[in-house]
A and B are shown apart, each in its own frame.
Chain A
């Protein structure tokens, strides 16, 4: 397969221990004072020129957060996080928000270029024939550029940074913000509610099929900075959108915190497809550094016949704690979760989903592929529940784990709760190893060990890769190969 070949070429071209996205950009930045306080939140809110209601909302979240304990049920271990040692806001300096790409700091554009982000429209067109992608790029705490804005506006689609949405579309933000992930939902979501800095906002009006893929790239650049973005997507009746987020961070010795919240709302007959390619810095070979990725993602199938589908390719981060979920509230609504979680080195992944069946004849489908190599730990944790009223609810779950080597672990923790006798939940799980014999067979046919692992892994994750938009599937395939580098031999 040429993609594999190409992957391997690329891998060869880079130094084995080198995280490809590990450069940092020297841009003067403007930071809030260190630590978490009413003042810092006032500073962030003021920077963004927020209305009083939002400031109050944040302050309330801060008060709640101070009463909460960090959760400890996930199968992950890390030293205590000193929340007062972090910076909660960092913006690249240079005036206010840029009005167009021309005003964006060229250094920043160079960074995005290095990341391979099709920020410039030409690049987008050149990279993805026929298809176009509108991009919102978030650098540390602020959104720096949104392409294709006008064309989207013509279709009635709103795609902008959340800060801008607060200014331009306060009624929508106020109505939906926190309506899926309430302020008090969990420790990290509450923290995010207090300090969230930027993120994307999408609104699709009734009956609109978004004319292109929407996409956001997140990057943490500043040292000791947490990233707390907040994404809110609302698909009004009968609309459709496919949205992709990609994430990278430079190599740093310290751990960095990323606690995002994503809320999706699908009204009657609407569909949202949300894909993530997460490639935050995973830490070095010894497990030093890396991102703590504690993310709350939830979609609300609020309307009847609505559909939300999560697809994630998780290869980065030192620790991943994330459970993109669906609340299947509307009758006949559908939720999907397709996941590939790769862990290598000393990475720890505890990820999965929750499918909460509330409406009648709701359907959910979970396909999870965990790949553990090196000294990593990879846990699938999933909940499927049916409410008393959810007659005819159906779920199919398939979780497969693949182990590479002797020192890694894979775990499957499914929870099933059904309060309705007519609900049908099916669960399948397998754990397999890449056998020495399989590798030898492939090498006898001319593939080297790395190529062989890449090929076998591609076969293992195929069902999920097929869910991604084409161009991202190729990118994801490469990422997976890079992440598993050095896992054999």
Chain B
């Protein structure tokens, strides 16, 4: 579903991704772990198309199509979703308004009809209830004055509403209390499907005990330095990244 080949990217002339190669199959949940500053968020931004990053080499294929040349909104319409590590605030724009505008923008780009208002409200309410998001919160301006955990939950709400096929989650677990973590993990698990894939960036085994990954990749200094099964996550939790840091330095 998602294939990243020898991806190099830099910002202001500073190389950050130095040859990332990674494939995620339909139905798969892949986790990426790695020390602070190793380039995990950068990778997620490059996949989603943030234009400050210059891709100097490599490809990102979504369903076999190189998406590096197309705008972020087009990528979203093709079913790519990024849950941000730090979700942005949009003052004055009610969450409902934002959700509807975004959903319809995606639908239109796919040549679909706008969603009927009643269907829209029903869908939003359904996912909001599951994620413990109140109606009052949906009326508030998007992410404005939301707590860290509420913002993360709102990201999952959007993911559930848009039903993307390729979901990238950047540290969705950080800042969540235990109950919220469980709720978010359930939200993700409920979306697991044969034709949907996840790339979950996290620092903690904790999340991966709720969302059990099929594969775990370790990123260090802009590269994937080790890949394995779920056991790799526990190993990392026990030993830390020291070994990998040494590997890349060598």
Contact = CB atoms under 8 A, between A and B. Distances in A.
A1 B101 contact: yes
Interface in A433-448: 435-438, 440-448
Interface bracket on A: 20 to 34
B54 to A, nearest CB: 15
Interface stretch (A150-158, A245-253, A287-295, A453-461): A453-461
Given A456-B93, A459-B91, A459-B93, A444 B101 contact: no
B87 interface: yes
Interface stretch (B19-27, B71-79, B198-206): B71-79
B76 A441 contact: no
Contacts of A440: 45, 48, 50-51, 72
B114 to A, nearest CB: 7
Interface bracket on B: 35 or more
Contacts of B109: 446
A474 to B, nearest CB: 14
Given A437-B88, A455-B98, A462-B92, A448 B73 contact: yes
Contacts of A438: 88-90
A442 B92 contact: no
Nearest to B87: A441
Mostly, the A contact residues are helix
A96 interface: no
B102 A460 contact: no
Interface string A1-36: 110110000000000000000000000000000000
A447 B91 CA distance: 17
Contacts of A436: 52
A451 B109 CA distance: 13
From A1, A437, A444, A458, name the one whose CB has the most chain B CB atoms within 10 angstroms. Answer: A444
Interface in A441-486: 441-449, 451, 455-456, 458-463
B103 interface: yes
A451 B90 contact: no
Interface of B: 45, 48-52, 71-73, 75-77, 81-82, 84, 87-93, 97-98, 100-106, 108-109, 114, 141, 158, 162
Given A2-B114, A443-B49, 12 more contacts: A5-B101, A437-B88, A440-B72, A443-B71, A445-B102, A445-B158, A446-B76, A446-B106, A446-B109, A446-B162, A455-B90, A458-B92
CB-CB nearest 3 A-B residue pairs: A459-B92, A446-B106, A459-B93
